[in-house]
Amino acid sequence: MKPEERLIVALDYETETPALELTRRLEGRVKIFKIGSQLFTACGPSVVEKVRRTGAEVFLDMKFHDIPNTVAGAAVSAANLGVFMMTMHASGGPEMLRKVREAVGKTSGRRPLLLAITVLTSMNAELLAAVGFKNDVKTTVLSLAALAKENGMDGVVSSPEETALLRAGLGPQFKLVTPGIRPQGSASGDQKRIAAPASAIAAGADYLVVGRPITAAPDPVAACEAILAEIKEAVK
């Protein structure tokens, strides 16, 4: 996989105008853009279609979590939009994950990568305990990731802190998508478990999700190129 194919830029905007402007500015540099619940709720499926028309792929990060039939239906709708990858919570359970894989597998066209959310990068041990999880973060992440793999998911989304553990435990083919990426000197924001691009690649990440270090930069193109340079150096 080429270095530019590993970077996913998060279009975390309230409206489509700045999102589409950024995709145009980064055209040729970034192959995948992430559309999450904020932008999708504001603009609907049309924003996915508009990003795809630029030639880029879309990572639809809606983090589906509901009863199995409802999530399976939502996943089919997402697949029919032609997205490259999508997310659902592993904590939705084995039946939900299996139904998603089965339903999406029956759609026509390319099947998107199915990624399970383990523990959000905004969570730490204290916050995890507050919502009822008894194990520490790493144990919980590995357990949820194993559940995802056993029930047909192609990979997981997890923080840089768990990447090496997941790569060792789940093998080389299981996809690892790593948010919480912050270049050296960047503010962490509301992320609790973060890492620099080179560290995440060295730990075994396949894809790196970067948002504010690019979208909030005075020069997003220069910020993007700096991150790509770090990725290229790490891949060497």
How distant, in Å, are the alpha carbons of 21, 24, 85, 153, 165 from that of 101? 34, 33, 13, 7, 25
- 63 part of the active site: yes
Cross-strand partners of 35:
60
219 contact partners, CB below 8 Å, separation of at least 6: none
Residue 116 CB: number of other CB atoms within 10 A?
27
- Of residues 31, 50, 63, 99, which has the active-site annotation? 63
d(CA 156, CA 112): 13
Reference 48, options 63, 35, 38; nearest CA is 35
Catalytically active residues are: 63
